[in-house]
Amino acid sequence: MIIVMRDNATQEQIIKVEERLIDLGFRTHPITGDVKTVIGAIGDKRLLKSHGICLMPGVEDMIPIMKPYKLAGKELLKTPTTIQVGNVIIGGEEIVVMAGPCAIESEKQYIDTAFIAKEAGAKILRGGAFKPRSSPYAFQGLEEDGLKIMYAARQATGLPIVTEVVDTRDVDLVASYTDIIQIGARNMQNFKLLTECGATGKPILLKRGLSATIEEWLMAAEYIMAEGNKDIILCERGIRTYETATRNTLDVSAVAVIKELSHLPIIIDPSHSGGSWKYVSSLSKAGIAAGADGLIIEVHIDPTNALCDGPQSLTPSDFKRLMGELTRVAEAVDRKLVL
Ligand code: PEP
Ligand code: MN
């Protein structure tokens, strides 16, 4: 914490504040400028509030040095976090691709897509069972029947699954089927949902909110981590900007910023960012080149007839081709993408 003294603070006031800090067990580092004196105080900052340091004569302000996201940030843990899900490690040398349709529509659609995704090199299957949409009249997902289909695909392919929960009342249900719980962009600041998902102990894929700053996103991760759950995968899925040519704007700089600020792995969702299958290839490559640890890509056996997000879904053959191209991008940035 930095204690900022007022411009007109007397020498006596400065000494009194410093003595008080030392009495409370702080190490102090006063810096005297031409106009102001500030005192760096290292110790238990809760004591500063409870002992009313900010009320002492001559004190203007107290400024925290630590970032507010203590567990998600790098100040306490410098080494990158890796998350093991089955045989898959996220945040290691290997780029992990998660793939599947936006929504589970039927057993045949999902199982067929699951095998196609596996064959092309995806290591985790995605799919939505709870799909509250912008319109209440649009397809809303198969709910528990969808989870059962996903689980069957998991057993058949041997690949772990990731699916979204949107309601605290369904957290235990979803956790009983899935390997990774997804928290969607629209729920990034649903703090009760974050806490309850965190408490399941399952790895969490935390999407960035549509208009969330990176700090708000990391604070959302902090809610999960405060439950003792360290297994969080951040997912940049595009943010709302003035641009309408794409569904959202992929903030590729978020990858670099997260790598600077946090030890948590980060993946890119090129499907929801661009909103069109045409942009998925470029955005995937940009994400890997920027240092992302993985991708989550929508793939559908028949995008034109998809019940949800068809326009941004890749066909099986486009997905297969892209995976081949991505191996070379991964290599160029000293990572591996194993097909
Ligand atoms: C999804 O991944 O299916 C989804 C709804 O994404 P988002 O929360 O990023 O919109
Ligand atoms: Mn979707």
- The dihedral region occupied by 262, where left means phi > 0, alpha psi between -120 and 50, and beta the remainder, is beta
Residue 36 in this model has a pLDDT that exceeds 90: no
CA distance 329 to 284: 10
> Is 89 strand, coil or helix?
strand
- Tell me the whole-structure pTM to 2 decimals: 0.89
> Is 314 strand, coil or helix?
strand
Q: How many angstroms separate the alpha carbon of residue 184 from the centre of ligand 1?
A: 5
CA distance 273 to 9: 52
- Domains of the chain: residue spans and CATH: 2-63 (3.30.70.1140), 83-332 (3.20.20.70)
- pLDDT on residue 310: 97
**What is the CA angle 246-252-254, rounded to 5?**
120
Q: Which two tokens stand for residue 240?
A: 């709302």
Q: Which of 170, 230, 235, 171 is nearest to 209 (CA)?
A: 235
- pLDDT on residue 139: 92
Query: What mean pLDDT is reported for the chain?
Result: 95
The count of other CB atoms within 10 Å of the CB of residue 70 is 13
E runs forming strands in the chain: 2-5, 27-32, 37-42, 59-63, 83-85, 88-90, 96-100, 124-126, 161-164, 180-183, 204-207, 232-236, 266-268, 294-298
Mean per-residue pLDDT, 16-44: 89
Residue 9 in this model has a pLDDT that exceeds 90: yes
Q: What is the pLDDT of residues 263-317, one digit of tens each?
A: 999 999 999 999 999 999 999 999 999 999 999 999 999 999 999 999 999 999 9
Ligand nearest to the CA of 240: 1
By CB atoms closer than 10 A (0-12, 13-18, 19+), residue 265 is buried
Q: Are 39 and 49 in contact (CB under 8 A)?
A: no
Pocket of ligand 1 (CB under 6 A): 102, 128, 184-186, 207, 237, 269, 272
Q: How many angstroms separate the alpha carbon of residue 272 from the centre of ligand 1?
A: 7
Strand order in the sheet with 37-42: 27-32, 37-42, 2-5, 59-63
Q: Could you tell which of 162, 269, 300 is best to mutate to test the pocket of ligand 1, judged by most ligand atoms within 8 Å of the CB?
A: 269
Q: Are 224 and 243 in contact (CB under 8 A)?
A: no
- pLDDT on residue 109: 98
Q: Which of 146, 139, 206, 131 is nearest to 178 (CA)?
A: 146
Kindly report the protein residue whose alpha carbon is nearest to atom 3 of ligand 1: 102
Q: What is the pLDDT of residues 102-128, one digit of tens each?
A: 999 999 999 999 999 999 999 999 999
E runs forming strands in 224-313: 232-236, 266-268, 294-298
- pLDDT on residue 29: 84
Q: Are 162 and 124 in contact (CB under 8 A)?
A: yes
Mean per-residue pLDDT, 195-211: 98
Q: Could you tell which of 164, 166, 273 is best to mutate to test the pocket of ligand 1, judged by most ligand atoms within 8 Å of the CB?
A: 164
